[in-house]
Amino acid sequence: MSGEAVVFYLLAAVTLGSGAVIVTSGNIVHAAAALVPALLGVTGLYILLNAEFVAGIQVLIYAGAITVLILFAIMLTEGGTGLGGRQRNEQTAVGAAVAAAMAALLIAVAVRTNWAPPAAGATLPSYTPGAIGQSFLGRNILVFEGTSIVLLVSLMGAIMIARRED
Amino acid sequence: MLGLTHYLVVAALLFALGLFAVVTRRNSVTILMGIELMLNAANINLVAFNKYAAPGAMQGQIFALIVITLAACEAAVGLALVLAAYRTLETVYVDEINIMKW
Amino acid sequence: MTHLAWVIPLLPLAAFTAIVFAGPRLPGRGAYVSIAGIVLAGVGGLIVLGEVIGGARADVTYTWAVLGARPITVGFVVDPLSAIMLAMVGVVASLITIYSVGYMAADPHYPRFFAYMSLFQFSMLFLVLADNFLFIYAGWELVGLCSYLLIGFWFERPAAARAALKAFVTTRVGDFSMMIGILIIFLHTGSLRFDEVFRSIQGGALTGPLLTAAAVLVFGGAVGKSAQVPLHTWLPDAMEGPTPVSALIHAATMVAAGVYLVARTYPLFLASPDHTALTVVAYIGGITAVVAATMGVVEDDIKRVLAYSTISQLGYMMLGLGVLGYTAGMFHLITHAFFKALLFLGAGSVIHAVATNNLKQMGGLARAMPWTTWTFIAGTLALTGIPPFAGFFSKDAILAAVFAHHPVLWAFGAAGAFLTSLYMGRLVWYAFAGSYRGGDPAAATASHAHAPHESPAVMVVPLAILAVFAVFLGWVGSETLGNPFGRFINFPGATAEPPAGTGAGLLVLSIAIAVAGWAAAGAIYVWRLVPSESLRRAAPWAYTLLVRRYYVDDLYAWVFLGVGGLVMRAAGLFDRYVIDGLVNLTGWLARQFGLGLRYVQTGREETYLLLVFLGVLVIVVVRLWW
């Protein structure tokens, strides 16, 4: 087994294991804490997929900002004690079945489909930040501008919604 | 030999986990965490396809970057909503937020 | 005038309308308007009769509707038959209405009575003038309705309400039979007009057993309306109504409508092979004549005795018509109307004076009420067929006709005549002779003094006028004067002469039987040679049979109320549990379905989310692998 595969399986185990903790933990703080390794695992997978810039952004935003955001929310709501009621509602069984079925479906599709093999021997271009930046300001400028508007709006919206009424 | 399928399988499993969290958990913050997991799974798919199926362009990664950005926005607004709800309704558990139900 | 004869029924109808809308405010609280209506109609009827005797005829027809290829026409006919009926109804009804002013004077519902009387008069006159089955059926139903309204006039009394319903339902059975007969006729001849129907029948449109069936079914209506056996049970109970009602409707006019119907549709009966239909008519008439007379002998209620007498006399009329004695039957109808109305009005006068119907509580009224007594006796003599009173001529004509065709039925008729004299003699004796057996003065109403006295003039004068008719009307149909009635009202081919040489003998025999009946009444009740108690003890079963009206009422009650009631209850159970059950089951299922599906709408978002993903799964699976 090549080194790449070993790393892959390791990263997959970390990601999925943390994911399992997130979704099944009775303690919400534990769940939030488990979010970090999960996201970092995904980062590793990105690196394996030659997407370094995406991996960097993932760390910055996901593992950094979003995790902290979630921790803040937990803190400001009653989940701060980490205790409080049961965490699973009564449709657990059906939900598990649906999730399992969904997974099975997706895996079946993935395994059975004959994905076109990549052009043999083609070397991958380097996905440098510069190239990505060029792409954003070139081909994907519309998406770029649109996303910035969304960012602005959501920023304003979040502030407005979370403001204390007084 | 690592292939596209491996990544797709991992993404699928991650998606399923996120789905389970969204559908099953009571705390709304946990539900948001599940949503994040699902978004990450989609991202893995995108980047994997980018590498293995369409390596010439970098659309997959661009897409993934946009998704991350939007996920951040959505997390911000969502958590703001949770906070506002908590302030008014005194609870974060979604099954207790049922004042519109008869 | 003849062409305008259709106006005559409208006069009492106008009176009815006026009284309905303004009754208590009209002159005489509606009575005078009603009297005006019928008197004018009566005068008109007499004028028409005069003209028709002089040879005038009329037949006015309008096409009312067209059913496919068959036009439905309506119209009026004025011929001897309808003219004589018009005149008779007009005169008798006028006298009875005038009498009612006195009889109903103390009644709080005075205007309503006269309104109903006018409505009835309209219905009867309308029926008489009809020239088609549709109109005669309409008139039939109208008189039936008025009979119901008038029998149940004092509807607060349960007995009256029940009697009205019984009359209506029993005659309904007859009406239904008649309707089926009319439909058969319409189906085969394509028309409802009498003359067209009869022409078609002559032409062979309807023959054989089906024709006989149609004729008998139409006769069924007459059986109901004229209270023949087996639909006779309603008439005695109908005496719950006020006495003028009994006189007008249940003696003179409405019950005569059945006889009129047979006379009007005579060609239908004649065309029946071997005269089967007529034989049915004759036998039913004959049986009724005898059976009703037997029941009259044991009745204690003065009006009920007269009711049975009416049923019996109607039987005679049917008997006459059935043995081709067209003239005799109609003649008896006319004379009977006068003397039976007289008898009923006289009975009403008696009841008005003594406040009871029970013969056993009367007596000695001859001294107190001379006018009533002697007019009543005149009527009785007419009824029992004592010459030279009216009934003698008409009844003898019938018996002669019967003897000519069916000697067996003659025996029935003779027996009936004997019994008629017997029960009428009994009635006269109990009511008028001897001394007053009546109740104590305290029980008498305030309007009646301590002892009975003669009725007011408004009641006595009609009695007197009717008595004149009862005495003298018979000569109109007598052979010695050339039988003008017979020349006026006859049907070609329907002659019934007794065998040569027996005519005189039969005449004497009829008189002898009538006198014998009177003698028997004398023997049993007056001189008590054979006291009624000993007769009763000798054959108690016979007495019971008569008092219980041959158990016919009980039989009907058992069949219709008993057996019918079981069927109805079973049907009711079926309806309630099976049919309703099915309907309720559908509702219950829908409800259960809803109650179950209700849980899908949890109002909780997580459920919906789950369902969304479930849906996606299902769609994808279905799309990919199916």
- In CATH, what number is assigned to the domain containing residue A17? 1.20.120.1200
The full set of domains in chain B, from first to last, is 4-90 (1.10.287.3510)
Q: What is the pLDDT of residues C540-581, one digit of tens each?
A: 888 888 888 888 888 888 888 888 889 989 999 999 999 999
Q: What is the pLDDT of residues C176-198, one digit of tens each?
A: 999 999 999 988 888 888 888 88
Q: Please state, in angstroms and rounded to a whole number, the distance separating the CA atoms of residues C418 and C293.
A: 9
Q: Residue C443's pLDDT band (boundaries 50, 70, 90)?
A: very low
Q: Closest CB to B12: pick one of A19, A54, A107.
A: A107
Indicate the number of domains in chain A.
Answer: 2
DSSP C455: P
Q: Residue C450's pLDDT band (boundaries 50, 70, 90)?
A: low
Partner-chain contact C604 B100, CB within 8 Å: no
Q: Closest CB to B17: pick one of A23, A107, A155.
A: A23
Q: What is the pLDDT of residues A69-107, one digit of tens each?
A: 999 998 888 655 556 667 777 778 888 999 999 999 999
C510 vs B102 pLDDT, higher one: C510
Q: What is the pLDDT of residues C484-520, one digit of tens each?
A: 787 787 787 777 676 666 777 888 888 888 888 888 8
A13 and A76 part of one domain: yes
Note whether residue A30 is domain-resident.
yes
Please tell me the least confidently modeled range out of A54-58, C142-146, C286-290, C385-389: C385-389
pTM across the whole model: 0.69
Question: Under the phi-then-psi rule, with left for phi > 0, alpha for psi from -120 to 50, and beta for the rest, what region is C503?
Answer: alpha
Q: What is the pLDDT of residue C40?
A: 92
User: Shortest Cα distance from B86 to chain A (angstroms)?
Assistant: 7
User: Shortest Cα distance from C598 to chain A (angstroms)?
Assistant: 17
Q: What is the pLDDT of residue B101?
A: 61
Q: Closest CB to B98: pick one of C604, C610, C613.
A: C604
User: Shortest Cα distance from A150 to chain B (angstroms)?
Assistant: 8
Q: What is the pLDDT of residues A121-164, one digit of tens each?
A: 566 777 888 888 988 898 889 999 999 999 999 999 999 998 87
Residue C615 has pLDDT above 50, yes or no: yes
Q: What is the pLDDT of residue C447?
A: 44
Of C47-56, C72-81, C196-205, C238-247, which has the strongest mean pLDDT?
A: C238-247
Percent share of chain C, pLDDT over 90? 40
Q: Please state, in angstroms and rounded to a whole number, the distance separating the CA atoms of residues C389 and C518.
A: 15
Residues 6+ apart with CB under 8 A from C479: none
Q: What is the pLDDT of residue C448?
A: 47
Partner-chain contact B61 A127, CB within 8 Å: yes
Q: Could you say which residues from 35 to 94 on chain A have a Cβ atom under 8 Å away from some Cβ of chain C?
A: 89, 91, 94
User: Shortest Cα distance from C620 to chain A (angstroms)?
Assistant: 9
Note whether residue A113 is domain-resident.
no
User: Shortest Cα distance from C157 to chain B (angstroms)?
Assistant: 59
Neighbours of C308 (CB within 10 A): 27
Q: Residue C444's pLDDT band (boundaries 50, 70, 90)?
A: very low
User: Shortest Cα distance from B72 to chain C (angstroms)?
Assistant: 22
Partner-chain contact B58 A87, CB within 8 Å: no
Note whether residue A16 is domain-resident.
yes
Q: Residue C315's pLDDT band (boundaries 50, 70, 90)?
A: very high
Q: CB-based contact (8 Å) between C501 and chain B?
A: no
Q: Please state, in angstroms and rounded to a whole number, the distance separating the CA atoms of residues A103 and A109.
A: 10
Question: Which residues of B are less than 8 Å from C610 in CB distance?
Answer: 23
Q: Cα C517 from chain centroid?
A: 27
For the segment C513-535, the average pLDDT, to the nearest whole number, is: 83
Residue A110 has pLDDT above 80, yes or no: yes
> Phi and psi dihedrals of C62, rounded to 5?
-130, 145
A75 and A3 part of one domain: yes
Question: Which residues of A are less than 8 Å from C614 in CB distance?
Answer: 98
Residue C98 three-state SS: helix
Answer with the one of A42, A61, A81 that is the final residue of a domain.
A81
Q: What is the pLDDT of residues B39-97, one digit of tens each?
A: 999 999 999 999 888 777 788 899 999 999 999 999 999 999 999 988 888 888 888 87
> Is the bond preceding residue C111 a cis peptide, omega within 30 degrees?
no
Contact A16, B13 (CB under 8 A): yes
Alpha carbon distances (Å) from C43 to C70, C92, C130: 38, 12, 20
Partner-chain contact B22 C609, CB within 8 Å: yes
Q: What is the pLDDT of residue A142?
A: 94
Q: What is the pLDDT of residue B96?
A: 80
Note whether residue A74 is domain-resident.
yes
Q: What is the pLDDT of residues C147-169, one digit of tens each?
A: 999 999 999 999 999 999 999 99
Name the nearest CA neighbour of C348 among C91, C114, C103.
C103
Helices (H) and strands (E) in chain C, counts: 28, 2
Q: Residue C397's pLDDT band (boundaries 50, 70, 90)?
A: confident
Q: CB-based contact (8 Å) between C614 and chain A?
A: yes
Interface test with A, best of B27, B46, B67, B97 (most A CBs within 10 A): B27
Host H or E run for residue C72 = strand C70-78
Q: CB-based contact (8 Å) between C609 and chain B?
A: yes
A77 and A135 part of one domain: no
Beta strands in C503-585 (DSSP E): none
Q: What is the pLDDT of residue C318?
A: 92
CA dihedral C352, C353, C354, C357 (to 10 degrees): -30
Q: What is the pLDDT of residue C43?
A: 93
Residue C255 three-state SS: coil
Note whether residue A105 is domain-resident.
no
Q: What is the pLDDT of residues C120-130, one digit of tens each?
A: 999 999 999 99
Q: Residue A166's pLDDT band (boundaries 50, 70, 90)?
A: low
Q: Cα C544 from chain centroid?
A: 27
Chain C touching partners, 3 or more CB pairs below 8 A: A, B
Q: What is the pLDDT of residue A121?
A: 56
For chain C, the average pLDDT equals 87
CA dihedral C22, C26, C29, C33 (to 10 degrees): -100
> Phi and psi dihedrals of C297, rounded to 5?
-70, -25
Q: What is the pLDDT of residue C501?
A: 66
Name the nearest CA neighbour of A28 among A68, A87, A95, A76.
A87
3-state helix vs strand vs coil in chain C, percent to 5? 75, 5, 20
Name the nearest CA neighbour of C376 among C389, C360, C387, C358.
C389
Answer with the one of A81, A107, A138 that is the final residue of a domain.
A81
Residue range of the domain that includes A158:
129-166
Q: Please state, in angstroms and rounded to a whole number, the distance separating the CA atoms of residues C11 and C33.
A: 10
Name the nearest CA neighbour of C205 among C262, C261, C268.
C268
Host H or E run for residue C294 = helix C276-296
Q: What is the pLDDT of residues B8-55, one digit of tens each?
A: 999 999 999 999 999 998 888 999 999 999 999 999 999 999 988 877
Q: Closest CB to A50: pick one of B23, B43, B51.
A: B51
Q: Residue A66's pLDDT band (boundaries 50, 70, 90)?
A: very high
A19 and A75 part of one domain: yes
Contact C399, C506 (CB under 8 A): yes
Contact C167, C234 (CB under 8 A): yes
For the segment C314-325, the average pLDDT, to the nearest whole number, is: 90
Interface test with B, best of A8, A27, A77 (most B CBs within 10 A): A77
Q: Which amino acid is at C196?
A: E
Q: What is the pLDDT of residue C446?
A: 44
Alpha carbon distances (Å) from B98 to A99, C56, C239: 25, 96, 78
